[in-house]
Amino acid sequence: MVNVQLFSTSKGKYAPPTDAVNAAGAPAYALSSRHQLAQYAATGCLHATFYAGAEAQLATVAALCEELDSGFIARTAVYARERGFMKDMPALLVAILAGRGAPELAPAFRRVINNGKMLRNVVQVLRSGAVGRKSLGSRPKKLVQDWLNTASEPQLLAASVGQSPSLADVVKMVHPKPAEAWRAAFFAWLIGRPHDGAQLPPAVQAFEAYKRDRGQPLPDVPFQMLSALELGAQEWAQVALQGSWQMVRQNLNTVARHGVFELEGMTGLVAAKLKDPMRLAKAKVFPYQLMAACKAASPEVPAAVREALQDALEMSLAAVPAIAGRVVVCPDVSGSMSAPVSGQRGSASSNMRCIDVAALVAAAMLRKNPDALVLPFERDVVPCSVNADDRVLDNAAKLAALGGGGTSCSAPLAWLNSRRERADLVVFVSDNESWVDARGRASETMRQWEMFKRRNPQARMVCIDCAPNASTQAQERDDVLNVGGFSDEVFRIVAAFAAGATRAGHWVAEIEAIDLDGR
């Protein structure tokens, strides 16, 4: 008798036909314009990725914004900045709002431009001509002036670090007219104009005094302002002790290079700072940042400090949900996932790759859901033993070490179907550029999902995309959610969807619900 399982006429019968082609040239499902903009905003870096150049990303975002209303663009910018912790894309979206004179510009600007780096980013985008103008214009100029005239002394000092443009360039462009004497003196000092030194803010006065006399106390200013002063190990130790938690995390190699850890007791003090629960909570750190710090730490950083980072990573998992039922996590370990998650930036490229993000999500979900099944895949499912009791970083390293080969997003579902496995939630972390399994009228991922649903009618699938894409292998519907990004916000959305609290279009609906004048 013929194999009815193999030749079943109902296999894939209800899988929807594809309507797009992905960057790998294979059939896919097009995301809506709103979903596409959200995806680009939450993952886009405006630098070359494995499949898309920087110019292509810019052109795509500009074209999408032509189709969409200013309200959604503004809310997407706020979402990407406040919940996705992105920098370049939110600044671009604010610049686009400025270019079209949108009424939503002011509230979006105030929410997105929340530090000096973001201020310099949006000014650079505006004056580049990329959004149709090479000047700020009166409304954006007024918003920049307002930021400069209301920012605190620490905010202005932090903003003064960096170029292209520098804060001095911005001040010269917009000519702020401050009401306070200290602010007027600061701007004059910043751009090299005559000023009354007695009116300078205390930190700037201390900085100038320290430059004149190294016997003065080390000023509490951004360490970049001090780095040109040829500080010794003792001074760098003080910088590390008085700096913020995030500053220390980001500059461990600099601290090590200047001999700080050779000083008695400093290794213990820095390690204690990094794993202090109260400092971690205040810094609002999330696992991705800590994994990046662990990967970036040079051999000169003591083992005790690297251990403290791992301890902090474990503590940061509080936001990762425990999900009821059987969970399957499928990290993509194919060749394209080896690209830096924030794009190719030359010597400044992140050491975090897309595969590291996928591995981290899988390892973190396994820690909070010990019975979860982890199925890394490329062309097929790749065997890999991970243990829920092992450290997240160790499990992530095992998964990230697999790598290579083509992409078949349907492979984990085919594996589950061949074994008649049951599950309540299947989570993919991928760049969605499946091509090995391209066949038929529907994507193979959806065909396999339909087969899986016949055994698991209540199951749901979440596809976390870590790259800027316009298509997916799993069409959005009530049991399928597509979401982009790699912040803790993704974990929250996954948990809500798994609990049945949300339906198709939930991610876009989250963005649409943002109150621009609130939080």
DSSP 118-168: HHHHHHHHHHTTTTS-SS--HHHHHHHHHHHHH--HHHHHHHTS--SS-HH
Is residue 333 within 8 Å of 355, Cβ to Cβ?
Answer: yes
Q: Dig out the tokens for 193 from the structure.
A: 């104009």
Mean pLDDT over the full length of the chain = 89
Start-end of CATH 3.40.50.410 domains in the chain? 20-26+320-512
What digits encode the pLDDT tens for the residues 105-157? 999 999 999 999 999 999 999 998 888 877 888 999 999 999 999 999 999 99
What digits encode the pLDDT tens for the residues 375-428? 999 999 999 989 888 888 888 888 888 878 899 999 999 999 999 999 999 999
What digits encode the pLDDT tens for the residues 210-267? 999 988 889 989 888 888 788 899 999 999 998 899 999 999 999 999 999 999 999 9
Say which residues have a Cβ less than 8 Å from residue 156's Cβ, sequence separation at least 6.
Answer: 116, 148, 167, 183, 186, 201
What DSSP state is assigned to residue 176?
-
Instruction: Name the CATH superfamily housing domain 20-26+320-512.
Output: von Willebrand factor, type A domain (3.40.50.410)
Nearest in space to 267 (alpha carbons), one of 256, 280, 279, 277: 256
What digits encode the pLDDT tens for the residues 318-362? 768 889 999 999 999 999 888 887 655 555 456 788 888 888 889
Rounded Cα distance between 54 and 497, Å, is 32
The pTM (predicted TM-score) of the whole model is 0.88
Interhelix angle 354-368/287-296, nearest 10 degrees: 120
What digits encode the pLDDT tens for the residues 270-298? 999 999 999 988 888 878 888 889 988 99
Amino acid at 121: N
Q: Dig out the tokens for 368 from the structure.
A: 């909070």
Rounded Cα distance between 366 and 79, Å, is 27
Is residue 77 within 8 Å of 97, Cβ to Cβ?
Answer: yes
The pLDDT of 508-514, averaged and rounded, is: 92
Is residue 1 very low, low, confident or very high in pLDDT (cuts 50, 70, 90)?
A: very low
